[in-house]
Amino acid sequence: MNNLIDGVRRPIARPSTTFNGRVMRALTALPLAAALWGCASPAARVPVETVRSNYQNQLVKPGEPFATLSGYPYSHYMDTAWAAYVPSRVDGIATGIRQFGGASVGLYSPQVALLRLKIPPGRHNVMVSGGKLTGEQTLLKNIEFKAGANYVITEKTNEKGKRFVLISAYRADTRFSIDEKEHYLIDSAALAVAPLGSTE
């Protein structure tokens, strides 16, 4: 089609359909890609048992002696204003379960807190995440872990309302499961105590 301008017929410029065509082809392909991804995901997903094992064994090799460290089953962990206490670093090494795909299999802080992280015997500095929704970081220093012993992260509040994070040894009462408080027979003397949020 031509357009008469100043007595001269000129062709009317038409908008290019190349870009729109490419976009449309890409959009058309999305449902197929999504379907293929959905079909492939279950097969590629790491089993929850593998995620748990990778998290628990990350600091030790098979056959090596170890101690264990876990959180305590406070009922308020299920409150959205709180986060369970979990070890986030040991001697500066990140130990969070996210790196092993914890969220992809539905493992969040209330569940991870009860998993026993294996720790090599000796003295270690442990960074603990938890206590608030944002996952407050608290550093507990120079804790001596003994092979074969179990340790637990707990909290206490003093008379002024200030909160502290503790790591203590405990004996397991196997008549109760790990998500019951009665399972943890905690030693009266804590091995380490630090104010919530202290990283020095």
Q: What is the DSSP letter of 104?
A: G
Q: What is the DSSP letter of 13?
A: P
E strands, the chain, in order: 2-5, 8-11, 67-71, 86-90, 93-94, 117-119, 122-129, 137-145, 150-157, 163-172, 184-186, 192-195
Neighbours of 38 (CB within 10 A): 9
Nearest by Cα to 76 from 9, 161, 14, 155: 155
Residue 17 in this model has a pLDDT that exceeds 50: no
Nearest by Cα to 96 from 121, 122, 120, 127: 127
* Interstrand relation of 150-157 and 67-71 (parallel, antiparallel or unpaired): parallel
Structural tokens at position 143: 């804790």
Domain-wise residue ranges, the chain: 2-43, 48-195
Residue 112 in this model has a pLDDT that exceeds 60: yes
Of the candidate ranges 16-20, 44-48, 52-56, 129-133, the one whose mean pLDDT is the lowest: 16-20
- For tokens 């998290």, the residue is 55
In which element (H, E) is residue 55 found? helix 48-56
Predicted pLDDT of residue 145: 97
Q: 0.85 exceeded by the pTM?
A: no
Neighbours of 141 (CB within 10 A): 13
Q: pLDDT of 125-171, one tens digit each?
A: 999 999 887 779 999 999 999 999 999 999 999 999 999 999 999 99
Of the candidate ranges 25-39, 64-78, 167-181, the one whose mean pLDDT is the lowest: 25-39
